[in-house]
Amino acid sequence: MVSARVGRGAVLGAVALSLLAVPARAATAEPYAPTPAALPAPDTTGLDAVLRSAVAQGAPGALARIDDDGSTYRLSRGVADRGTGQGISTDDRFRIGSVTKSFSAVVLLQLADEHKLDLDAPVNRYLPKLLPDDRITVRHILSHRSGLYDYTDDMFAKSVSGFEAVRNKVYTYQQLVALSLQKPRTNAPGAAYSYSNTNFVVAGMLIEKLTGHSVKTEYENRIVNPLQLTDTFYVHPDTRIPGRHARGYLTPDTAGAQLIDATAQTVSWAQSAGAIISSARDLNTFYSALLRGKLLSAARLGEMERFSPVNSTTWYGLGLRRRDLSCGVSVYGHTGAVQGYYTYAFASKDGKRSLTAVANTSNNAKVLSTLAGTLESAFCGKQAKSDVKE
């Protein structure tokens, strides 16, 4: 079912840490590309077509919500539960995967605002002897430029067996870092971008060391409660998603094999790198508030938005991605991939328009690439190219 809700209550008729890392270009930063004064209206027909394609390519369901300075558009296709056939809804909660990284970065940047953290200080100043190189700074961690190996590359070399080995396991942060340090580093500190969940495991350790509280408490006190994010939870190591939610389905590596229901899991393998649960409404609220300057000082938000190139259309700051779209608009947010769920959550530079799109599957490259098209329809309108690739 697809529906669009626009304006302040009017209803139109009918018509769900880390994404794949790619080699980095040179490490030069570039000023952000500003959002035009007025964005074209969202293309809800195009958005619906993207969701239809994602379902046709193997996602049980897909959803998208746009919040546009007082107007809201809601679209959904397919099912939230393959067993019951319940349709997926934009009200459903889901696992947001690496979108969690933006939450963790905001907490650390708030601590920098409070003069409790120096972004250019070595991580080992705060966590003595944790890392093998005193040159690795907090900024390197938040920008994926530390060179720390991503332990999940080995953990999930085989999607189903790797997942089943960890779905009920509970790790300490130290154990996850130790898995990374068993392998050589990918580059010298600061030399190159190399996406690694290890970085944001370290971020979680920093949060807990500097505050004396759990990441759960800090997410709640600093972000969830102030923004009234009523669908956002950090339940680790509980395996359940509270309340109404979309079930998540892992696509096996073997072609034609049955999807695996991956909904129940500790996500202990990710924690502060990818274990938050949320909804489309809450993620739109979060990124809108962030970009409007409601969570950080202007100086710290500027640090977060100091981007370096990942590929021709994607840039990375401090726990924040920038995507450059075909119409010349740049959007800011993060992507998420966790077993059973793909998420795109982005907003315009001024925070006035935000989009969250979700498919309740993972390990499906076609769905992942297709879901990126939601950004084009949401922010470029009918000017969007039909052949956009991830």
Backbone angles phi, psi at 279, to 5 degrees: -135, 170
Indicate the length of the chain as a whole number.
390
- Contact status, residue 108 vs residue 295, Cβ threshold 8 Å: no
Q: Which of 98, 102, 104, 159 is catalytic?
A: 98
Helix (H, G, I), strand (E, B) or coil at 72: strand
Active site (annotated) includes residue 326? no
Give the list of residues 6+ apart from residue 253 with CB closer than 8 angstroms, or none: 158, 159, 160, 363
d(C-alpha 5, C-alpha 51), whole Å: 17
Give the list of residues 6+ apart from residue 107 with CB closer than 8 angstroms, or none: 207, 215, 218, 219, 222, 223
Strands (E) across the chain are located at 5-6, 10-11, 61-68, 71-78, 93-95, 249-250, 260-261, 277-279, 308-309, 314-316, 321-324, 330-338, 341-348, 353-359, 361-362
Catalytic residues: 98
